[in-house]
Amino acid sequence: MSDSSSERIAQRLREWVSNAPAGAQLPSTRALVAEFEASPVTVQKALQTLIGQGLVETRPGVGTFVRSIRVARPHDYGWQTAALGSPQNRMPHASAALRATPNDVIALHSGYPDRELLPERLVRAALTRAAREDAVMSRTPAAGLPELQAWFASELGAHTPAGLTPPTASDVVILPGSQSGLSTLFRTLVGAGRPMLIESPSYWGAILAAAQVGVQLVPIPSGPHGPDPDEIDRAFAQTGARAFYAQPNFANPNGAQWSPDLADSILRIVRERGAFLIEDDWAHDFGITTTAAPLAARDDSGHVVYLRSLTKSVSPAIRVAGLIARGPAHDRILADTQSQAMYVSGVLQTAALDVVTQPAWRTHVKSLRQQLAARRDLLVDSLREHAPTAHLESVPAGGLNLWLQLPDETDLVRFARECEVSGVILAAGDDWFPAEPTGRYLRLNYSGPNPGAFPEAAHIIGQVLARH
């Protein structure tokens, strides 16, 4: 019997169902086979069509029945108000960077690189090999796979100047992604109700993690070259804070990279104040005209706690990050991560280690630099041509984003909505400010899909701006 025979039977059964009361039982499959002179497979296919349309339902061991019509009714969840009580911390709303979008729009909002920028062949091969390892059926140590710990320590140690002690594998804690690492660090190094310095603008995920923990954020203005050391020192003195969260290399969202002199000044202040610098090296693999120079490599006294993720550069499915800390802080961090997640999947750790230790990984990173440069420059040139009233203070030397300032009178919510109607999805910059925004900004991701549409996107942005 052909598919048309199956559809013919389904149509006959739809007519039968339309005249039957809810709950009526359909004839058995055997009876339908005899009635329509069809094979059992064809009859089952017709029944599956009706099930998929919500007209009938099966009850295993009993039969197939006409579905009852369920009338939608409002539910009263008011009892939960008293059970939950008032939230201890008001959570920021989910960032626009997390939005899923259809394929027929130009997406400049996401925080992740496009699939074609990822080492897909390496990842697939690594997962295949990992599936044959003991990691499939075993639990890894709480601190992580020793070989992966050693790799993170070695990578940072390669940047360590002579005269300083490089980190060891025992200083590393493997995490299920950097976002959980931020929550752990804010909880263990700062604590609820206590102040922490943070660049402004800064990564929205860090702002969210701080809100979840109950940390009181102290914004430090930061431009395309980083923050002012005097502002940092003054904030430490005024607030009594003992931690500063920062992204010294290719900061999200503005792409800032600290100069060596600025890094030395901030390290000196952190040491003098007896504080921690929480260094989020999120874009370590995304240098374009320069490479990432981790501050943690220049400190062996335990003041810098270093966080390095592989999720964005290897694969969103490989949620693995390394955290490097020394002294009692390391022990406290490990205890917290163990209580939260117990351990990280050995399969993911094995696959991550496999990818980054392949000779082809270095080749991929070099190629990635060239691809990011081409995408960044195309978007920059397109914006300068089609949206001249938008201001780009600097072209980032690495990372994934442009930080674009719009005229002060721009209604940012309406602007983003009008761009979306025209087919361009944007991330409004308000999410990246730990306090009130200091202007009208957009964060545009140049590593997303379909870079050939960047000129069209810039043209739409310019047209919408002209109406505001």
Query: Over the stretch 323-379, which tens digit does the pLDDT of each residue have?
Result: 999 999 999 999 989 888 788 888 999 999 999 999 999 999 999 999 999 999 999
Q: At residue 173, does pLDDT exceed 50?
A: yes
Composition of the chain by helix, strand, coil, percent to 5 = 45, 15, 40
Residue 333 vs residue 83, higher pLDDT: 333
Whole-model pTM: value is 0.81
Which residues partner with 65 through β-bridges? Answer: 25, 57
The Cα 178–Cα 161 span in angstroms is: 26
Residue 362: in which H helix or E strand, if any?
helix 359-386
Q: How many CB atoms lie within 10 A of CB 141?
A: 13
Q: How confident is the model at residue 89 (pLDDT cuts 50, 70, 90)?
A: low
- Tell me what pLDDT residue 68 has: 75
pLDDT band at 1 (very low <50, low <70, confident <90, very high): very low
Which residues, at least 6 apart from 114, have a Cβ–Cβ distance to it below 8 Å? 447, 448, 449
Is residue 100 scored above 60 in pLDDT?
yes
Is the pLDDT confidence value at 83 over 60?
yes
Say what percent of the chain tops pLDDT 90: 66
Rg (CA), the chain: 28
Q: By mean pLDDT, which of 48-52, 201-205, 266-270 is the weakest?
A: 48-52
What's the pLDDT score for residue 248?
A: 96
Output the pLDDT for position 136: 81
Note the helical H segments in 108-259.
120-130, 146-157, 178-185, 204-213, 229-239
Residue 375 carries which side chain, given as an amino acid letter?
A: R
Tokens of 333: 């961090």
What does the alpha-carbon distance between residue 309 and residue 131 come to, in Å, rounded to a whole number?
22
pLDDT of residue 97: 60
Q: How do strand 216-223 and strand 226-227 relate by DSSP bridges?
A: antiparallel
Average pLDDT on 287-294 reads: 93
Higher pLDDT: 23 or 356? It is 356
pLDDT band at 90 (very low <50, low <70, confident <90, very high): low
Average pLDDT over residues 189-218: 94
Place of tokens 């009850």: 59
User: In this structure, are strands 440-445 and 427-428 parallel, antiparallel, or unpaired?
Assistant: antiparallel
Average pLDDT estimate for 198-214: 93
pLDDT of residue 61: 78
Q: Are 181 and 202 in contact (CB under 8 A)?
A: no
* Predicted confidence (pLDDT) at residue 154 exceeds the cutoff of 90: yes
Q: What is the mean pLDDT of the chain?
A: 90
Q: Could you report how far apart the first and last alpha carbons of the chain are, in Å?
A: 62
pLDDT of 6: 86
Q: Is the pLDDT of residue 109 over 90?
A: no
Burial 266-282 (b: 16+ CB within 10 A, else e): bbebbeebebbbbbbbb
Residue 391 burial by Cβ neighbours in a 10 Å radius (0-12, 13-18, 19+):
middle
- What's the average model confidence in pLDDT over 444-465? 93
- Above pLDDT 70, what percent of the chain? 94
At residue 105, the pLDDT reads 80
Q: Edge-to-edge strands of the sheet including 304-309? A: 172-175, 321-324, 304-309, 276-280, 243-246, 195-200, 216-223, 226-227
Q: Is the pLDDT of residue 242 over 80?
A: yes
